[in-house]
Amino acid sequence: MHGKLPEAVETSQQLSAWSSPFTRSLFTLVFSVPENLSQTPSHNEEKQQTMRTDNEGPSDGKWLFQRLRGFWKLQLLGIACVALASTLSLLDPLLMKWLIDSVLPNKNLPYLGLVVAGALGAYIGRVLFQNWATLCTFGVGQKLALKLRIELFVHLERMTARFYKDNAIVNLVQRLDRDVDVICEQGTDLVPALLRMVLVLVLVILTMFTLSWRLAAPLLPLLPLFLLVRYRFRGPLQRAADEVREVAGQQSNVLTEFLGAMVQIQLLRCERQIARRYMRGLANTIRAVSRRRVTEMEFSFVSMLVVTTGGMTILGYGGFLVIQGLLTVGGLVAFYSYVLRLFEPLSTAIELFARLHRIRASLRRLTALRTVEPEVKDLAGAVPLEPNPRYHLSYQNVSFSYEAGLPTIEDATLWVRSGEVVFFVGPSGSGKSTLVRLLCRLHDVANGSINLNGADIRRITLASLRGSISAVPQEPVLFAASLRDNLLLARPGATEEQLFSAAKAACLRDVIERLPRGWDEVLGPLGSRLSGGERQRVALARALLQERPILALDEATSALDAQTEARVLGNIRDYASDRILLIVSHRLASAPLADRVVVVEQGRIVEQGSHSELLRKDGRYAALWKHAKQRTTDAEREVFSTITAGQSWAAAD
């Protein structure tokens, strides 16, 4: 079999016929989730202005608490159910005592029935309340998870290029997946678990002392001993668990990397080395898991020893008391059942402690994420860009560097008006893409300014700035949706006619005709079903559909053949006749299309002017042109000369 793996997803919409009306209404309460983004508060939340260095603070808990507030009804209901379930769970030893001490000796049949009915009722009640409590906690957890995830995701949508370069995607995915799970699943159960623990401990101790203080007293020293054992083991257990998580995390990163690079691995023919590396990682995982298992076994042996000592104390000393006539047989049996339940809440206490640690660690990681401020954001007082029939754009003494001390753009100055086509040429790595990225504010300039209609782009709201630019990168990203949806994403509500004319201008129509399902063809993950050139044409159509005043193509036609490129660029030039059109290309043949050619070298604009001016100047551009011309085929020349009408290769000589 080859191709896409089937996805084992089943959705069960309905509850089974067995569930009670109460469970059904609880279900509705638990699983009603908002489906509309505007219902989540994250969009209009105030944000901190500076990046926090101490990622832990009192506001962590407060932040979480604020998000929990909406679910207080469900939480209270859950807590009430927990209290009832815990109380009911302590009833049966008492029933046992009554049975042994009074019902059986008196041969009282009706009471025997009552004991059985009582035990059954207590059991059913306990299970029901416990289930409802679990459902409530689970519901709070899921609702909270949804809230946190969407809030963090919207926050991540504000982060800029540098953030995504500095942070591995896997790391972010883990925060949104695992850390949110830890907080929501373990955190929301914290209060009910604590309540259950305290309630059981207090009730058990009280009942034991009421049954026989003589027998209860010798058990007391065992409690701190038990706590001590758990406490001593906490460190090793924690370390072993951390090690497993660390190793497993690394292993999943490695696996993601290898699977993502599989085609490259095959081409390099290094499958064996890679498999060996993968195996070494697996061996590490197994070692870590085994260490954890052994530590857990040692721990459970020692704690069982303490619990068993308690049990034996009861049997020995309790038996002695029974023989002395100071305790009834029923009392002894009840006592013995309570001993086991006495240590249970203590285990819970330690477990809750460890859980609190995990939750705090996860919360810290979320805090680190949610308090990062985007590198680029609206300045205070930023205003939307006024729509204007005539746009003008200028770069004024712009400097920028990706890394301190390594200038990428130096002192770039440039003026462009609507209707102008500007062509950027220059060696690769000279900073052409960076100039476009700065205009879109993927980064902010270090010095100088970029101005749109006379306003510094940092004083224009990001939303309206980006809403005025269609930028098409060399490697466009498409989504795993249909071709139509990929285009509609750029302009929801576009008419068929608009779609068709954008597709026509981008020379996409023959691609659509070839696709078996035409416009409804699903493009596969990242548009992988299409070739590089086809993806570029889809991206161009998407940009054209937006009809924005500025169109920036960053080597956006590089994967097209010369003929198609010429056709597309010709169409785009006509389309953009009243717009600003910036074209970065290393294929010089189309340069005569432009009103202005800008030559970029080592981050500096070294020449600019029209194609013919620059040729007359006989400088850098003229040299590049001569070099390119030697490598251009006659067919390409022909194509471009028809399109650039009047400024053809021939005319350039």
Binding ligand ADP by CB under 6 A: which of 98, 278, 336, 402?
Answer: 402
Closest distance to ligand ADP from the beta carbon of 585 (Å): 10
Q: Which of 75, 89, 371, 433 binds Mg ion (CB under 5 A)?
A: 433
Q: CA-CA distance, 596 to 613, in Å (whole number)? A: 9
Nearer to ligand ADP, 432 or 542 (CB): 432
585 is an interface residue for ligand ADP by CB under 6 A: no
Of residues 424 and 649, the one with the C-beta less far from ligand ADP: 424
Shorter beta-carbon distance to ligand ADP: residue 78 or 426: 426
Which residue among 11, 50, 428, 630 contacts ligand ADP (CB under 6 A)? 428
Supply 32's token pair: 């009603």
Contact indicator for 617, 580 with CB cutoff of 8 Å: no
Segment contacting ligand ADP by CB under 6 A, of 77-85, 174-182, 291-299, 426-434? 426-434
Task: Determine if 434 is a binding residue for ligand ADP (CB under 6 A).
Answer: yes
* Burial (CB count within 10 angstroms: exposed 0-12, middle 13-18, buried 19+), residue 119: middle
Q: Exposed/middle/buried for 110, CB within 10 Å: 0-12, 13-18, 19+?
A: exposed
**Contact range with Mg ion by CB under 5 A, out of 155-163, 178-186, 427-435, 458-466:** 427-435
Work out which of 2, 165, 272, 631 binds ligand ADP, going by CB under 6 A.
165
Other CB atoms within a 10 A radius of the CB of residue 326 amount to 13
137 belongs to the binding site for Mg ion (CB under 5 A):
no
Q: Give me the least distance between CB of 379 and ligand ADP, in Å please.
A: 23
Interface size with ligand ADP, residues (CB under 6 A): 12
Is 67 or 432 the residue whose CB approaches ligand ADP more closely?
432
Contact between 348 and ligand ADP by CB under 6 A: the answer reads: no
- Judged by beta carbon, residue 221 or residue 429, the one nearer ligand ADP is 429
C-beta closer to ligand ADP: residue 434 or 453: 434
- Least separation in angstroms between residue 434's CB and ligand ADP is 3
For residue 431, state whether it binds ligand ADP (rule: CB under 6 A): yes
Q: Which residues contact 461 (CB under 8 A, 6 or more apart)?
A: 378, 382, 383, 384, 385
| For Mg ion, the closer CB: 160 or 430 | 430
Stretch that binds ligand ADP, among 6-14, 104-112, 315-323, 401-409 (CB under 6 A): 401-409
The candidate with the shortest Cα–Cα distance to 606, out of 449, 417, 438, 431, is 431
**473 vs 533, beta carbon nearer ligand ADP:** 473
Residue 189 CA to residue 33 CA, distance in Å, equals 19
Q: Could you tell me the smallest distance in angstroms from the CB atom of residue 428 to ligand ADP?
A: 4
For 198, 220, 481, 538, 542, the CA distances from 515, given in Å and listed in that order, are 66, 78, 14, 13, 18
Q: Tokens standing for 383? A: 């205003």
The shares of helix, strand and coil residues in the chain, as percent rounded to the nearest 5, are 65, 10, 25
CB 407 within 8 A of CB 399: yes
The CB-of-583 to Mg ion minimum distance in angstroms stands at 12
Question: Applying CB under 6 A, which part among 84-92, 289-297, 336-344, 424-432 lies near ligand ADP?
Answer: 424-432
> E strand or H helix at 430, and its extent?
none
DSSP string, 625-645: HHHHHHT--HHHHHHHHHHST
Q: How many CB atoms lie within 10 A of CB 9?
A: 5
Do residues 334 and 93 lie in contact, with contact meaning Cβ atoms separated by under 8 Å? yes
312, two tokens? 């034996």
Q: Specify whether the CB–CB gap between 639 and 562 falls below 8 A.
A: yes
Integer-rounded Cα Rg, in Å, for the chain is: 36
- Report, in Å, the least distance between residue 429 CB and Mg ion: 8
Residue 89 interacts, among Mg ion, ligand ADP, none and using kind-specific CB cut-offs from 5 to 8 Å, with none
Binding range to Mg ion, per CB under 5 A, among 12-20, 179-187, 209-217, 430-438:
430-438
* Other CB atoms within 10 Å distance of the CB of residue 585: 23
How many residues in total does the chain contain?
Answer: 653
| Beta carbon of residue 44, minimum distance to ligand ADP (angstroms, whole number) | 32
Please, are residues 96 and 336 in contact by the beta-carbon 8 Å criterion?
Answer: no
Which listed residue (362, 430, 470, 564) binds ligand ADP by CB under 6 A? 430
Which residues of the chain form contacts with Mg ion (CB under 5 A)? Answer: 433
Which residues of the chain form contacts with ligand ADP (CB under 6 A)? Answer: 165, 402-403, 408, 426, 428-434
